[in-house]
Amino acid sequence: MGADAIATDAAIHARDLTRRFGGFTAVDTISFDVAPGEVFGFLGANGAGKTTAIRMLTGLLAPSAGQATVAGFDIARDSEAVKRSIGYMSQRFSLYEDLTARENIRLYGGIYNLSRRDVADRATRILQRLGLEASADRLVRTLPLGWRQKLALSVALLHEPKIVFLDEPTGGVDPLTRRQFWELIYETAAGGTTVLVTTHYMDEAEYCDRISIMVAGRIAALGTPASLKREHGVASIDDLFVRLARPEAAP
Amino acid sequence: MSALRGLLYKETLHILRDTRTFTVVLALPVLQVLLFGFAIRTDIHSIRLAVVDPRPDAQTLALRHRFEAGGLYQVVAVTPSRDDLEALLVSGRAQQAIVFEPGFAEALGRADAPQLAVITDTSEPNIGASMQNYARLVIQAFERDAAPARQASIRVVPQVRLRFNPTAESSNLFVPGLMALVLTLISALMTAITIAREKETGTIEALLVSPLRPWQVIVGKVGPYLIIGFASVIAVLTVARLVFHVPLEGSVTLLLAEGLLFILVSLSLGVLISSRTSSQRVAMMGALLGTMLPTLLLSGFVFPIESMPLPLQIVSNAVPARWFVEITRGIMLKGVGLTELWRETLILGGMALVLLTASVRSFHARLD
């Protein structure tokens, strides 16, 4: 996989990115590129290294080896610039439950130094789009989980980042809400924002432009869902995942 | 700057919306002062006194009256024989006893030193020592009045003068320690918990992924607690002054400034503790063991530092509350200023500097 030409205009560009915790290698020399406006899926079982990879790309964790650029900025040298260019929504969901929807939007607006008018405009737009106008001043805690997650995504996009990282954004949500959430992701990508999303729901892989399947810290497969299925002669990504995960389970 | 203001506002909302905790934080300083002031006093009122007087005469009666006259003593039994004394003391009906010899007045008249025993229940050593002192003071005064002419016969009783706390009010002594305790609770414990809570819910990651600098995140988290801590200093001082008439001899401004310094130290400790823990429960235990207990036990608040074993005395040097208690006692009770307290202030300031740096560092370090 190392033969790819270095694409400097890539939204995300990772080369041999590695993270070790003591003797354990959580992420093992992964390399990939994500094009601007792409929806890139990071698939893998729990503990396969998806979250560790995202934490390195967002500047939460320093890599042990390898390098990466995000929005053209080196994650090790230019982490401040990286932070200004990205949005992030963690699997544990980043809204404050004892604040209202509007207060959460205002808080993040302030953190990203948006003007007061911008924050007010964008808040109205977000609340309208999510149909949350009536609940804008309710505590987030009292909103249904699906709404909270859609709100969290909107807040992560508030400062209009070039790239947004979504770490298992759909965990614990019903299928219908997951569907709506993915519509929101598509809208985002259509607006030119690059989306890197991790999931362990294999059916969600079909929604991505390209996917990488991580097994034990390495990228075991990378490509469009259709080409991967064809290449490996499987009917679904789920089948492919099982086939890839099994031999690795007993090294 | 507006990012920081937003963070401070958000933290204030967290505090205000957690009504239960907020009530506790508000009521705590006042409740503590009242509790310590009324319930946990170590000075003594109406000591139950037994009198053994085999042959009452004018002088024994005079001394008995003198005991009763001060309002400090309450004579619960007068008996002619020592045999009854044991039962009175064991049952607790009497806390202290004076035992006259027969012919007390004659002995005084003959210029012999008359024999007089004072027996004190010292099962509670602090109270016992105080009662012993009170009795000695009464007898001494009696002697002075009864035998002014015969200088030679006056027994030499070691004279105890109580300085700085002339009325021996325990409320004067506990207020400085109490301030340290309340500030530790609010600043260290609450900060440790509130940061650990954001780790637990994962919201801290959203802040760390943002362009906010670590110091902004820290200031945004602890700022409101600094204000609450400061307000509680004022609350403790006000209640202490209004209800217990605790003196404040020195400069109020200096006292508040030193309070601020101590709050800074406690806040940094809270941040440090939370940076090493990932759950509210562990953060709370850490803060209780790491800050509350030393403040309670090693600051000189409950146990005088001079009466600690040497190793503990050495350890107490590392407890910020020890220096704060010394400073506060100095300002409140002795009325001294920076000229006398510069050493303690410097130590506290040094601790603040080291801990603040360490806490910002540890916040950085958790990114790796």
C-alpha to C-alpha distance for B40 and B54, rounded to whole angstroms: 38
Q: Look at residue B160 and tell me whether its pLDDT is greater than 50.
A: no
Name the residue among B5, B13, B210 with its Cβ closest to that of A112. B210
Would you state the pLDDT for residue A211?
A: 94
Name the pTM for this structure.
Answer: 0.76
Choose the mutation target among B13, B18, B19, B210 for the interface with A, i.e. most A CBs under 10 Å: B210
- The beta-carbon contacts of A45-51 under 8 Å, at least 24 apart in sequence, are A45/A200, A45/A215, A45/A245, A46/A200, A48/A214, A48/A215, A48/A216, A48/A217, A49/A19, A49/A214, A49/A216, A49/A217, A49/A218, A50/A167, A50/A168, A50/A198, A50/A214, A51/A91, A51/A167, A51/A168, A51/A198
Q: Which two tokens stand for residue A80?
A: 């401040």
For chain A, the residue count is 251
Could you report the per-residue pLDDT of B164-215, keeping only the tens digit for each?
455 555 566 778 888 888 889 888 988 999 999 988 888 888 888 898 888 8
**Is A117 touching B (CB cutoff 8 A)?**
no
DSSP secondary structure code for residue A83 in this structure: H
B8, B10, B18, best to mutate vs chain A, most A CBs in 10 Å: B10
A97 at interface of B, judged by CB pairs closer than 8 A: yes
Q: What is the pLDDT of residue A45?
A: 82
Nearest C-alpha in B relative to A113: B3
Tokens of A219: 């990228």
Strand order in the sheet with A163-167: A86-89, A163-167, A194-199, A39-44, A210-215, A218-223
**Position with higher pLDDT, B87 vs B348:** B348
Q: Taking CB atoms and an 8 Å cutoff, what residues of chain B touch A86?
A: 209
Question: Residue B23 has what pLDDT?
Answer: 86
Q: How many inter-chain contacts (A to B, CB under 8 Å) are there?
A: 75
> Are the CB atoms for A61 and A48 separated by under 8 Å?
no
**Other Cβ atoms within 10 Å of B13 Cβ, number:** 17
Q: Are A198 and A167 in contact (CB under 8 A)?
A: yes
Per-residue model confidence (pLDDT) at position A160: 92
Look at B10 and A97 and tell me if their CB atoms are within 8 Å: no
For residue A59, list chain B residues with Cβ-Cβ distance below 8 A. Answer: 209, 367
Q: Count how many Cα atoms sit within 13 Å of the Cα of residue B253 in the half-sphere of its side chain.
A: 1
Which of A111, A116, A167 to mutate to probe the B interface, most B CBs <10 Å? Answer: A111
- Give the pairing type, strands A73-74 and B47-52: unpaired
Average the pLDDT over each of B106-115, B171-180, B249-258 and give the range with the smallest value. Answer: B106-115
If one compares B114 and A37, the residue with the highest pLDDT of the two is A37
Inter-chain residue contact A111 with B202, CB threshold 8 Å: no
Dihedral sign for Cα A177, A182, A183, A185, please.
Answer: positive
Mean residue pLDDT across chain B: 82
Contacts of B10 in chain A (CB under 8 A): 96, 99, 103, 107
Residue B261 has what pLDDT?
A: 94
Residue type, A157: L
Nearest to B273 by CA among B354, B338, B363: B363
Sorted by sequence, the CB contacts under 8 Å of residue B204 that are 6+ apart come out as: B195, B198, B217
Residue in B3, B203, B212 closest to A94 by CB:
B203
pLDDT tens-place values along chain A, 251 residues long: 333 444 458 899 999 999 999 889 999 999 999 999 999 999 988 888 888 999 899 988 889 999 999 999 999 888 889 999 999 998 776 789 999 999 999 999 999 999 999 999 999 999 998 888 888 999 999 998 888 888 999 999 999 999 999 988 887 788 888 888 899 999 999 999 999 999 888 888 888 999 999 998 999 999 999 999 999 888 888 888 888 877 654 33
pLDDT tens digit string along A58-90? 988 889 999 999 999 999 888 889 999 999 998
Six-digit token string for B124:
């509670």
Task: For chain A, say whether B279 makes contact (Cβ under 8 Å).
Answer: no
